[in-house]
Each structure stands twice: as structure tokens, then as C-alpha cells.
A and B are shown apart, each in its own frame.
Chain A
Amino acid sequence: MSCSNLTMLVSSKPSLSDTSSLSFRSSLNPFQLPTHSSSSSNPSRSSSVTPIHCGLRELRSRINSVKNTQKITEAMKLVAAAKVRRAQEAVVNGRPFSETLVEVLYNINEQLQTEDIDVPLTKIRPVKKVALVVVTGDRGLCGPFNNNIIKKAEARIAELQGLGLDYTVVSVGKKGNSYFVRRPYIPVDRFLEGTTLPTAKEAQAIADDVFSLFVSEEVDKVELLYTKFVSLVKSDPVIHTLLPLSPKGEICDINGNCVDAAEDELFRLTTKEGKLTVERDVFRTQTVDFSPILQFEQDPVQILDALLPLYLNSQILKALQESLASELASRMSAMSNATDNAVELKKTLSIVYNRERQAKITGEILEIVAGANALT
């Protein structure tokens, strides 16, 4: 008789009725146990449990499988923690680039303050069509990460439809891709695969797509939806306006909150009180004045024209990196919860197993004693 995965019952023989009700908690989807509230003094069982008698062998194999699952979830948590460190290093590696870029951008803007700049990437047009770049993850088992960003995307699409604007989606990441593929009523411009560690090449691919969409006037506004990494347990899906860029290099939120380009946020994986935490530091880059005899080889407008795609690239890369970090943090906490649940499940299963075993032995002893009595 095989033990069904859905419900389990301990044989409630009167001799074992100390704790006749057990608490189970559903940890991972494969198990799908009903959740009971643990009540040590409550002898009655909830009516949703159908009595199924599990044999010793089934219990033992169940305990083994829970043990293996626990090993896997623990390993996944540690791997995610290691990857957060790598993601952090990637962010640190990108800082020299963005610092220098911001310096130069500031200086050029100072020189151009009096002039009228006409760079294609900063052109503000009346908005008729909006492109949404949605950044999701590639793999599952990361808690609510992918769902949150997709819900935000759907909400934004509904908003745009309410405003009467047309829209198209650029989906980055396998999870987003499979979601939008199943919904052909949402126009998707291009599907891009995410990678384990975002590099400049991926950012370039997205930037190319977005650049050509904007410059060819197919869309009038490009918004970037990604998950901002707040802390190890909290991440926030946000929407940033990517194009048109402001010449000063500010990045504006959908609500109009603008972050200055010189402010940079950096996150660090550290330990506090023995537990892994993430701290965010805000840096402000020093904007040193250019040497006054600095000559521009080309027209300052041309130079700005060359700088802004660089800025676009680095913004996209930053968004990808933050998204990756939030995915990893989400996975860490989801796997940590799963491990804890597996430990508890194993404990309760072991108790049940031991009771079964003892009951069996007691039964055999009783039989032997009864048989011996019958003979004498």
C-alpha cells in the first residue's frame, strides 16, 4: 500500500495518545501537505484529514526524500549567497566607468548650458507609443521575484491602455519570455535571453533595440521595469524612464522623482550579528572641473551624442545587475525557508516513524506473551 503524498495519519491507538495530533507544514510544492495548526492539547483531528495508514517502509522512504530535498535547498541557498557576492563584484567593477562618465557629462553640460542641444536621444516628443523593457529571471525557485515584476508590468500596461497609449514590450529573461509568449494579445517586440552574469554585451543588445526603436520614432518613450534590490528580504519592482534621456543624465522614476546622475548606490553583502545582510551605501561622485585648456576635438554636441549612448548602456547594465542581485536574494530567502520547513518535516516524520516502530514491537511482544499464556 503506497502512502499518498497528500495526507498522512498516525495510527491513533489509545496507548499512544499523548500527542495524537501532529502538525504538518507544507514546504515545497511536491509535498502539498495540508496545513494544520499545531495544538498539543487538542485530541481531535481536523475533518479534512482522511485516515491513511502509512507503513514503516513508506515512512522511511519519505524521511529519506525529505532529507535529500533539504540538502538540495541548502546547497541552492549557499550557491545563491556566493553568486550575490559575484554580482556585487560586478557592480564594483562597473564603478570606474560610471564615475568617469558622470564627471564628463557634468562638465560638458556646463559648457553647453547656453547652447541649444539637439541630440536624438534627448528629444522629447508627444507620447503615442511606449516601449516597456521588462527584466525577469531565468530560473524559478526564487520566491515571488518573477511574479512581482510581471504583476507590475501588467499594472503598467493597464495604466497605459487607460490613458489610450499604445505599447510594446521588450522581454528580457526566460520567465518573462514564457509569460508573454503565452499571452499573444500583448505585443512583444523582442525576446532576449538573460544570462547568469550580465555583461556589457547583453546591455548592448538591449540598448541597440531600444535605441533603434526610439530613434526611428516607432516609440516615443522607453520605460525600464526591473527589481530594485532593497535588502535580503525585500526587493521592489520599479519603473524608470530610460528614454528620452535628460541631458544632465538624471534618471527619472515614473512618478517624476529624479535621481541625480552623480549619486550612486552600491550594495554590499556583509554579516551583522552572525547573519548575512546587505547594506546599501550611497556615493556621490566628486565632479572635478576639467582643466580649463581642455579642447573639444569635435563639436560639444557631437561629443554629447557619443556620451549619451554610453550612459544608456550603463543604466541598462545597472538595472540588469540589480535585478540579478534581487533574484539571488529572493532565492536565498526562499531556499532558506524551504530548508527550515524540511528540517521540521523530517522531525515530525521521524516521531511518527518511531511511534509506528514501537507500536509494532509492542504488538509483537503482546502476541508472544499472549501465545505463551495460552500454552501454559
Chain B
Amino acid sequence: MTLNLCVLTPNRIVWDSEVKEIILSTNSGQIGVLPNHAPIATAVDIGILRIRLNDQWLTMALMGGFARIGNNEITVLVNDAEKGSDIDPQEAQQTLEIAEANLRKAEGRRQIIEANLALRRARARVEAINGIS
């Protein structure tokens, strides 16, 4: 019995095939989903999604959204998703440093909100690369 995972972003389908197990980062911590999991609906935080296919783990960076787990059907709706293998490590590191610098420079509620979001996203991307190694 395998799970069918669907990761959707507003402009394309990132992942649509069967997996053995996933680990999802939600607002209230990480949850692991195995086949025949009880149906739940959860919000997904900016973080990484780990997918296991036959003893091999893949990481994907998710930029926040929602997940619904039904009868062995997982649907994850996110603003943006990037596979760990598609991210350039140096570029991700640079983006992280720029985001940190921006947060330190940020003044005013609005800039702090923006800078925080950008930082969390950059961090998720860097973690996605490190997750594979």
C-alpha cells in the first residue's frame, strides 16, 4: 500500500506520484505520514518536506500552504515548492546571507514582516540542500 502524493503550486504540479512515507513540517511541529494514516487537514509552514521512496529520502523546500491527508491520498497546496536537487547551493547560501542582512537593516513593521518571510524562505531552501547530503 503506497501513498499517492500530490504537491501543487499555483502554476504547476510539482510532484504527482506514489511514495512510501513523508515527513511534513507544520505550524505545530513535524508530522510523519505512513500509509493508512487517519484523515487530517493541516497548515504547512515554510520548511522542508521529506519524501521517502524505497529507502531513499528526497527533500523539497515548501513555502507555506496547506496539506490534506485522506485515504492514502496526500494533497499539498503550497505557494512555491523547489526540489532540493534543483536548488543551487551557492545561490541559496547567498540568498540566505542577503536575507539576514536585510532583516538586520529592517525598520518599521512592514519591512520587518517582509524581511522575516524572506529569511524563513531562504533558510528552508538551504536546509533542503543540506538534507540530501
**A residues with CB within 8 A of B:** 90, 93-94, 96-98, 100-101, 104, 108, 198-201, 203-204, 207-209, 211-213, 215-218, 290-291, 293-298, 302-303, 305-307, 309-310, 313-314, 317
| Top 4 A-B residue pairs of the complex, sorted by shortest distance between their CB atoms | A306-B43, A297-B42, A216-B110, A216-B109
Question: Min CB distance, A212 to chain B, in Å?
Answer: 5
Residues from chain B with a CB closer than 8 A to the CB of A213 are: 110
- Asked if residues A317 and B11 are in contact (CB atoms below 8 Å), the reply is yes
Given contacts A98-B10, A213-B110, A303 and B64 within 8 Å (CB-CB): no
Residues from chain B with a CB closer than 8 A to the CB of A212 are: 110-111, 113-114, 117
Residues from chain B with a CB closer than 8 A to the CB of A98 are: 10
Residues from chain B with a CB closer than 8 A to the CB of A216 are: 108-110, 113
- Asked if residues A204 and B63 are in contact (CB atoms below 8 Å), the reply is yes
Assembled-state Cα–Cα distance A203/B10 (Å): 9
Given contacts A100-B8, A200-B10, A291-B70, A305 and B77 within 8 Å (CB-CB): no
Binary interface profile of B, 61-75, with partner A (CB < 8 Å = 1, else 0)? 001111010110001
Assembled-state Cα–Cα distance A201/B78 (Å): 12
B53 interface residue (CB < 8 Å to A):
no
Given contacts A213-B110, A218-B110, A298-B27, A93 and B12 within 8 Å (CB-CB): yes
B32 interface residue (CB < 8 Å to A):
no
A-B contact pairs, 7 of them (CB 8 A): A100-B77, A101-B77, A200-B80, A208-B117, A209-B114, A295-B41, A303-B66
Assembled-state Cα–Cα distance A97/B14 (Å): 11
Residues from chain A with a CB closer than 8 A to the CB of B63 are: 204
Assembled-state Cα–Cα distance A201/B80 (Å): 7
Assembled-state Cα–Cα distance A222/B5 (Å): 35
Closest to A218 in B: B110
Interface residues on B, range: 35 or more
Residues from chain A with a CB closer than 8 A to the CB of B80 are: 200-201, 204
- Asked if residues B42 and A303 are in contact (CB atoms below 8 Å), the reply is yes
- Asked if residues B66 and A296 are in contact (CB atoms below 8 Å), the reply is no
Question: Min CB distance, A293 to chain B, in Å?
Answer: 6
B31 interface residue (CB < 8 Å to A):
yes
Count of inter-chain pairs, beta carbons less than 8 A? 121
Closest to A292 in B: B39
Which of the residues B10, B11, B39, B44 comes within 8 Å of A294, measured between beta carbons? B39
Assembled-state Cα–Cα distance A223/B58 (Å): 40
- Asked if residues B13 and A291 are in contact (CB atoms below 8 Å), the reply is no
Residues from chain A with a CB closer than 8 A to the CB of B59 are: none
Closest to B26 in A: A297
- Asked if residues B40 and A310 are in contact (CB atoms below 8 Å), the reply is no
- Asked if residues B10 and A302 are in contact (CB atoms below 8 Å), the reply is no
Near A by CB (< 8 A), chain B positions 1-42 give: 6, 8-13, 26-28, 31, 38-42
Residues from chain A with a CB closer than 8 A to the CB of B94 are: none
Question: Min CB distance, A291 to chain B, in Å?
Answer: 5
Closest to B113 in A: A212
Which of the residues B31, B39, B65, B113 comes within 8 Å of A306, measured between beta carbons? B65
- Asked if residues A296 and B40 are in contact (CB atoms below 8 Å), the reply is yes
Closest to A99 in B: B8
